[in-house]
Chain A
Amino acid sequence: MKELFAKKVVVLDGAMGTMLIGAGLKVGEKPEMLNITDPQIVYNIHKAYLKSGADIIYTNTFGANAVKMKNYPYREVIEKGIEIAKRAVNDFGYGYVALDMGSIGELLEPIGSLTFDRAYEIYKEIVLIAKNEVDLFVVETMSDLYELKAAVLAVKENSDKPIITTMSFDESKRTFAGCPLLAMVATMEGLGVDALGVNCSLGPKQLGSIVDELVAKCNMPIVLKPNAGLPFIRNGVTEYDVSAEEFAQVMADYVKRGVSIVGGCCGTDDKFIAAMVDKIKGLKPIKREVAPVSSLASGTRYLEIDSPKIIGERINPTGKKLMKEAIAKKDIAYFENQAVEQMQAGADILDINMGIPNIDEAEMMKIAVKAVQSVTDLPLQIDSSDPLAVETGVRYANGKVIINSVNGDDEVLDNILPIAKKYGAMLLGLTIDKNGVPKSVEERVRIAEKIINKATKIGIKKENLIIDCLTLTVGGEQDQAIKTLQALKLIKEKFGVKTVLGVSNISFGLPSRQIVNSHFLTMALSFGLDLAIINPNITEMMQSFRVFNLISGVDENGKDFIKHCGVINNATEIVGTEYSLQDCIIKSLKAKAVSIVQNMLKNQNGLDIIEKDVIPALDYIGDMYEQGKLFLPQLISSADCAKAVCDTIKLTLGGSSLDNGTKIVLATVQGDVHDIGKNIVKTVLQNYGYNIIDLGKDVQIEKVVQTAKEENAKIVGLSALMTTTVKNMEKTIKALKKNIDGVIVFVGGAVLNEEIALQIGADYYSKDPRQMVKILGQLDI
Chain B
Amino acid sequence: MYIDKRTVKKYLNYKGLDSDFDSLIGDVFLEVKSISNPKKLCVLSDVSKENGFYKINKLNLLLKSQDINNLFDDCESIATLVVTLGLAIDKKIDFYAKVDMMRSLVMDAVASVYAESILDELETEITAQTNLYKTMRFSPGYGDLDISLQKDLIEAVGASKYLGIIVNENYLMTPLKSITAFIGFSSKKQLFGSICLTCPQKGKCSVKCGKAE
Could you list which residues of chain A lie within 8 angstroms of chain B, going by C-beta atoms?
Answer: 26-28, 105-107, 110-112, 141, 143, 170, 172, 174-178, 200, 231, 233, 235-238, 266, 300, 333, 336-337, 340, 374-375, 628, 630-634, 636-637, 639-640, 671-676, 679-680, 683, 698, 722-725, 728
Contacts and interface: CB of A to CB of B under 8 A. Distances in A.
A676 B93 contact: yes
A639 B101 contact: yes
Nearest to B42: A233
A671 B91 contact: no
Interface stretch (B117-125, B130-138, B169-177, B190-198): B169-177
A182 to B, nearest CB: 18
B98 A340 contact: yes
Given A27-B156, A233-B58, A266-B161, A633 B105 contact: yes
Contacts of B43: 233, 236
B69 interface: no
A185 to B, nearest CB: 21
Contact of A724 (B16, B108, B162, B170): B170
Contacts of B93: 676
Best-buried of B98, B147, B156, B169 by chain A (most CB within 10 Å): B98
Given A266-B161, A640-B101, A679-B101, A632 B59 contact: no
A702 B108 CA distance: 29
A610 to B, nearest CB: 19
B190 to A, nearest CB: 26
A724 B155 contact: no
Nearest to A675: B97
Contacts of A235: 58
A698 B176 CA distance: 13
Contact of B105 (A107, A266, A375, A676): A676
A634 B45 CA distance: 47
Contact of B91 (A111, A143, A680): A111
Contacts of A27: 58-60, 156
29 contacts: A26-B60, A28-B60, A106-B166, A107-B166, A111-B90, A112-B166, A141-B161, A143-B164, A236-B45, A237-B58, A336-B98, A375-B98, A628-B15, A632-B105, A633-B21, A636-B102, A637-B102, A639-B101, A640-B100, A671-B172, A672-B170, A673-B176, A676-B97, A676-B108, A680-B105, A683-B101, A698-B168, A722-B171, A725-B170
A728 B60 CA distance: 31
B73 to A, nearest CB: 23
How many chain B residues sit at the interface, stated as a range, is: 35 or more
* Closest 6 pairs (CB-CB, A-B): A176-B164, A236-B58, A671-B170, A631-B14, A724-B170, A679-B97
Contacts of A231: 158, 162
Interface string B45-79: 10000000000011111000000000000000000
A728 B170 contact: yes
A300 B91 CA distance: 11
Nearest to B152: A28
A110 B168 CA distance: 16
B174 A673 contact: yes
Contacts of A333: 98
Indicate the member of A112, A374, A673 with the most B CB atoms within 10 Å: A673
Contacts of B147: 722-724
A175 B12 CA distance: 32
A111 B87 contact: yes
B156 A28 contact: yes
B44 to A, nearest CB: 8
A209 B113 CA distance: 34
Contact of A672 (B21, B57, B155, B172): B172
Given A27-B60, A28-B156, A238-B158, A632 B91 contact: no
B94 interface: yes
A111 B172 contact: no
Nearest to A630: B16
B95 A633 contact: no
B209 interface: no
